[in-house]
Amino acid sequence: MQDERKKLIEQHALTDGEGKKIEDEEGNVKLTSPTAFAEDFDELMKQETEVDVHQVDYEKLTKMKDKDGRLIQPSPRELEGLLLLQMLVEPEPEPEPKEEDEG
């Protein structure tokens, strides 16, 4: 994504007589047409990309260890992010034992 954005900047960059990009006071590249750049960038953002998402079982996550052997303890914010991205499988409730008829 970052490479594609850089290509768009190169394509829309305002250049001087020597072909060098012109920058503002903060070092940002000036664009020949910010509107045209924004339209092209919007098109780039609309492109769908396939991502291989692996889901992790919550129980397994709570037992995972880092490379130093310490238990991984995700923060509530990290857990929320995993849930929002549908990367965390919530544990299924255990079925209640059935009562046998005595009659």
d(CA 43, CA 68): 43
Q: What is the pLDDT of residue 54?
A: 83
Q: Take residue 33 and report the two structure tokens written for it.
A: 């047409």
Residue 61 has pLDDT above 80, yes or no: yes
> With a threshold of 0.75, does the pTM exceed it?
no
Distance, first Cα to last Cα, the chain: 68
Q: How many domains does the chain have?
A: 2
Would 14 be classed as within a structural domain? yes
Would 37 be classed as within a structural domain? yes
Q: Which of 35-44, 55-64, 86-95 has the lowest mean pLDDT?
A: 86-95
Question: What is the tens place of the pLDDT at every residue in 21-54?
Answer: 999 999 999 999 999 999 999 998 888 878 777 8
Would 98 be classed as within a structural domain? no
Q: What is the pLDDT of residue 24?
A: 92
Structural domain boundaries, residue 84: 56-89
Same domain, 10 and 36: yes
Question: What is the tens place of the pLDDT at every residue in 48-59?
Answer: 878 777 888 888
d(CA 66, CA 97): 37
